[in-house]
Amino acid sequence: MGRIKTENNSSRKDVIIKKAAELFKEKGFKAASMRELAEVVGVEAASLYNHIRSKSELLHLICFNVANRYTLMMDEVEAEKTTSLQKVEKLLRFLIGGMVHNFEEVYVCDREWKYLTEPYLSNFQAQRRGYRKRFAAIIEDGIKKKEIKKIDSTTAVLIMLHAISGIESWHRSKQKINGKELEENMITILVGGLRK
Amino acid sequence: MGRIKTENNSSRKDVIIKKAAELFKEKGFKAASMRELAEVVGVEAASLYNHIRSKSELLHLICFNVANRYTLMMDEVEAEKTTSLQKVEKLLRFLIGGMVHNFEEVYVCDREWKYLTEPYLSNFQAQRRGYRKRFAAIIEDGIKKKEIKKIDSTTAVLIMLHAISGIESWHRSKQKINGKELEENMITILVGGLRK
DNA sequence: CTTTTGTACTAACATTTGTTAGCGTAAATT
DNA sequence: AATTTACGCTAACAAATGTTAGTACAAAAG
How confident is the model over A19-66, as pLDDT tens digits?
999 999 999 999 999 999 999 999 999 999 999 999 999 999 999 999
| Beta-carbon separation of A189 and B159 below 8 A | yes
> What residues are paired with B195 via a beta bridge?
B148
8 Å CB contact between B110 and B95:
no
Ordered DSSP codes for B1-21: --PPP--TT--HHHHHHHHHH
Assess whether B191 (CB) lies less than 7 A from strand D.
no
Q: What is the distance between the alpha carbons of residues B195 and A194, in angstroms, rounded to a whole number? A: 12
CATH class of A55-194: mainly alpha
Q: In this model, does residue B21 exceed pLDDT 60?
A: yes
Q: In what helix (H) or strand (E) does residue B112 lie, and over which residues does it extend?
A: helix B103-112
- Angle, nearest 10°, between helix axes A179-194 and B153-165? 60
Residue nearest to nucleotide C17 (CA to C1'): A33
pLDDT-derived band at B193 (thresholds 50, 70, 90) equals confident
Verify whether the Cβ–Cβ distance B159 to A186 is below 8 Å. Answer: yes
Largest CA distance in chain B: 64
- Choosing among 2.60.40, 1.10.10, 1.10.3470, 2.30.110, the CATH entry for B12-48 is 1.10.10
Interatomic distance B5 CA / D23 C1' (Å) = 23
pLDDT of amino acid B2: 78
Please, what's the b/e burial string for A73-96 (b: 16 or more CB within 10 A of its CB; e: otherwise)? bbeebeeeeeebbbbbbebbebbb
State the sign of the Cα–Cα–Cα–Cα dihedral A163, A165, A167, A169: negative
For A155-182, what is each residue's pLDDT tens digit?
A: 999 999 999 999 988 998 887 899 999 9
pLDDT of residue B69: 97
CA A1 to chain B, closest CA, distance in angstroms equals: 31
Is residue A1 over pLDDT 70? no
Cβ of residue B179 closer than 8 Å to a chain A Cβ? no
Closest-CA distance of chain A to residue B10, Å? 32
Q: Collect all residues of chain A within an 8 Å Cβ-Cβ radius of residue B154.
A: 170, 173, 177
Task: Give span(s): CATH 1.10.357.10, chain A.
Answer: 55-194
How do residues B27-51 score in pLDDT, each as one tens digit?
999 999 999 999 999 999 999 999 9
Other CB atoms within 10 A of residue A196 CB: 12
Distance of C1' in C24 from CA in A41, Å? 22
Confidence at residue A176, expressed as pLDDT on a 0 to 100 scale = 84
Per-residue pLDDT band for A10 (boundaries 50, 70, 90) equals confident
Angle between helices B153-165 and A153-165 (to 10 degrees): 120
Query: Picking from A115-119, A183-187, B103-107, which range would have the lowest pLDDT averaged per residue?
Result: A183-187
Residue A173's SS3 state is coil
Domain(s) of CATH 1.10.10: residues in chain B: 12-48
Looking at residue A143, what is its pLDDT?
Answer: 93
